[in-house]
Structure 1
Amino acid sequence: MKKYKYLTALFMGSMLALSVGITANANVKTYNQKGAALIGGTAKTFVNNKSYARIPNYSYGAGNDYYASHTYQTKPEFYQANGGNFRRNAKTKYFLPVTHKVSGDMSNPQSVAQTPDGHYAYVMYSAIDGGQSNIVRFDLNKLKALGVDTTHMDELRRGLNSNPQTQSAVKFGPKFNTGHAQSLAYNYKTGQLWFVRMAVATHKPTLVQVSRATLTPTKQIHFKFSSHYQINNELAFDKHGNVYTYVKYLGNKHSAGSIAIFKGTIKGNKVKFKAIKQGIKNGPGQHTQGMSYNPKSNRLYFISDGEITSVPVNKLGHLKNHDVRTTRFNTNREFEGLSFTNNGKGLILINRGAELLEIDNF
């Protein structure tokens, strides 16, 4: 739609010197870990929380006028909780670009990570059919100052295309093998960015560290997760630097499937995990779409389409039913990720078109 066509143009001028085909892997330190990373067995019991998932499968849709324009949305979305035991609402905060001269197709973002102060948001895009993609850093402070959100639409139509300040607010990283790119996560203790590179669930993934300055990989650890479990494309860190992932079992007509949670550490060039002995009987939604951590509430979040479940970290292994919070939103959009600042402000990443929705006290 014409209100947001300015986004494509204003993002084009910032990275003209970048080579589209760059692999960004020349200086990556690679380590091959021996033995299985999972050393702590399996989940034995499951907290019997209520299922709020929509069964049968989620019916995907798009935002206002997205299909008509094939570019940008122009009307903020408001998603009210219409299910679950923890009612919270989310509203569009930023419309994101869906195409760019250097990055190409940006309509398929897969994960988001924020700095704890809310200054930067890092959005990772999926490599399609074995190709390459990249990470884009958005300076949210600059975008807010320039009105590049959903609250100053009239101002944004007035010739910002050539504004160097606006162009400097967005940094496009070079292309590299991102895999499905669903797991970009911020380590709240070290300030590092990490993701798990894979195309589909696997016993043998690669854990990748990314430079926040260059938006390129700096280290990768090839490892075997477990003979019993295939790791999925989820990753989160808490404020102590512990790393988490989870797997979701297949659902049925009564439940979207149970969740097994794993807690681990990354020390030097090795990663280790142990299974939390208690899982969650009813996970959110049909498909896993990410994982997150809120440093204010000290909770872990399990993201699915239109539905998010969270649990307190300090009660992992001995959860009660009331500890498990689930919010089901009145939407059929595809959720792609969630990230939090130190004060608990959350951004939910969705596509069709790409945008960030703000949620608070979550």
Structure 2
Amino acid sequence: MVKGIKWVMAGSLMVFGGVMASELGPAQTAQAASTVKTRYALGNYQAKKFKWVQNKNEYVPHPKAYAWSMTYQKQGTFQTQPMTYTTRRGNAPATLTTDLYLPVTVQSSGDWGNPQSVVLTKNGRTAYVGYLATGTTSTGWIVKYDLAKLRQKFGASSGHMALIRQATNAYSKGKSASQQKTVMAAMQIGSTFDIGHGQSLALNPRTQQLWLSRTSGEDGRYGSAVQVSTRTLRPVRTVDYRLVNKTGAKLAVNSTLTFDKRGYAYFSSYSGKRSLRVYRGTMSKKGVHFNLVMQGLKYRPGQTHQSIAYNAKNDRLYFVSDDAISSVPLAKLNRSKVKPKNVKATVFASSREFEGLSFSGGGQAYVLLNRGPELMRLTFR
């Protein structure tokens, strides 16, 4: 939870996006309809055949304290000017520029101050954002943003960048004007349920199914894959699984997740002090199964394990830490043919928390940052 934001409790309820705002309350918990189990969700492998890519060390340590956006510090909650960051080092220079300032408060002070993940649809017109509720470790909800409407109709990415926060602030006080109600109708809000830590929200482009994973954080223990309806934003199916194989290897159920254009699922797992392993598999109503990709990065992007993402335009897999993003060509990775020169590193110096990364089908990248919450356009130069 991000502190320092004070609003009053909403004075009345309103329906927007087809869902009652009251459903955000912790008591309104949605449950998945069915459960299947995968006892051995990890394939067997020979550890001696695993190889490390000796990529350049661009590792970024965790900041002593996360920074707030400078425009937030100068302008307050209702930021009107975009924030921009440029890379400090790495072989894939890039720029981050604010695209949307996301809500901070909808019902009570700072209740939307903890977004954890972002997923874009192929056409880039819709985004799903996973949120954790204040004071919880796994209770949250998903919001579906109509980006096209927010940008084109309301100018939330250009001349009216404070509009979304102004609308949600007015709603929290029960004083929404007509246009502000229309702005809020561009945000469909799902009911609360157990979303794990919320980092793993991902859309399978082959099936158009939205999935997330929940983990206990303990090696060999059962966790869950949860399918969420893209229409109602409620969980509709649960698959319990444990990442254990029949030779005795075990690890904690993944807290990151993405899908490639072929429908294969991927997650990354930190190994040792600075290394990273990747797992490839399938996730569906029939069960979950992953195999260790037999090549990993000797140096991961940074200390904090935030997100994994896939770009269908260039067929690359991206690993996200705070202020650092690394990527590899997926085809080479799956064949264990990645060379150090194939690894791209992008390093910023914002001291901000990088919550998630997602790409449109055309390859445009967006990063979700916190303090205050915003969606930033990532442009590689």
Asked whether the equivalents of residues 219 and 250 of structure 2 are also in contact (C-alpha less than 8 Å), the reply is no
Q: Distance in 2 between matches of 1:13 and 1:217?
A: 20
- For residue 372 of structure 2, what is the amino acid of its counterpart? G
Question: In 1, Cα distance between the equivalents of 2:108 and 2:15?
Answer: 10
Deviations 1:139-193 (A, max 9, x none): 0010012334241138947998422432221111111111210110111211111
**For the residues of structure 2 that align with 1:231 and 1:16, how far apart are their CA atoms?**
33
Query: Which letter maps to 1:350?
Result: L
Give the partner amino acid of 1:53. Y
1:54 partnered with 2:60:
yes
Please state whether the residue corresponding to 1:123 is helix, strand or coil: strand
Q: What SS does the corresponding residue of 1:208 show, helix, strand or coil?
A: strand
**1:290-301 mapped onto 2 (5 Å cutoff):** 290-301=307-318
Question: Number of residue pairs matched?
Answer: 349
2:99 is aligned to 93
Q: TM-score, normalised by structure 2?
A: 0.84
CA contact (8 A) 2:15 2:21 kept: no
CA drift of 1:66 comes to 3.7
Q: Is the 8 A contact 1:64 1:73 kept in 2?
A: no
Instruction: Check if 1:249 corresponds to 2:254.
Output: no
Percent of pairs with identical residues? 35
Matched residue type, 2:321: S
TM score, norm. by length of structure 1: 0.88
Instruction: Give the equivalent residue in structure 2 for 1:198.
Output: 215
User: Equivalent residue of 2:69, what SS?
Assistant: coil
Deviates more, 1:123-132 or 1:162-171: 123-132
Q: Does the CA contact (< 8 Å) of 2:326 and 2:343 recur in 1?
A: yes
Inter-partner Cα distance in structure 1 for 2:162 and 2:68: 26
The yes-or-no answer on 1:274 pairing with 2:274 is no
**Residue 334 (str. 1) matches residue 353 (str. 2):** yes
Aligned to 2:178: 162
Candidates 111, 115, 132, aligned match of 2:117: 111
Cα RMSD after superposing both structures: 2.8
Alignment partner of 1:182 is 2:202? no
What corresponds to 2:33 in structure 1?
Answer: 28
Whether contact under 8 Å (1:18, 1:102) holds in the other structure is no
Runs (5+) with no aligned partner, structure 1: 252-256
Q: Is the 8 A contact 2:239 2:285 kept in 1?
A: no
SS of the residue corresponding to residue 315 of structure 1 reads: helix
Query: Counterparts of 2:155 and 2:43 in 1: how far apart (Å)?
Result: 44
Partners of 1:23 and 1:176 within 8 A in 2: yes
**Structure 2: which 5+ runs fail to align?**
1-6, 171-175
Distance of aligned partners of 1:244 and 1:17 in 2 relative to their CA distance in 1, 3 Å threshold: closer
Inter-partner Cα distance in structure 2 for 1:131 and 1:346:
27
Q: Quick one: distance in 2 between partners of 1:171 and 1:189? A: 23
In the alignment, which residue of structure 2 is the partner of 1:38? 43
Deviation at 1:89, TM superposition (A): 0.9
Say if 1:81 and 1:103 are closer, same or farther in 2 by CA, change over 3 A: same
User: Could you tell me how far 1:36 is from its partner in structure 2?
Assistant: 3.8
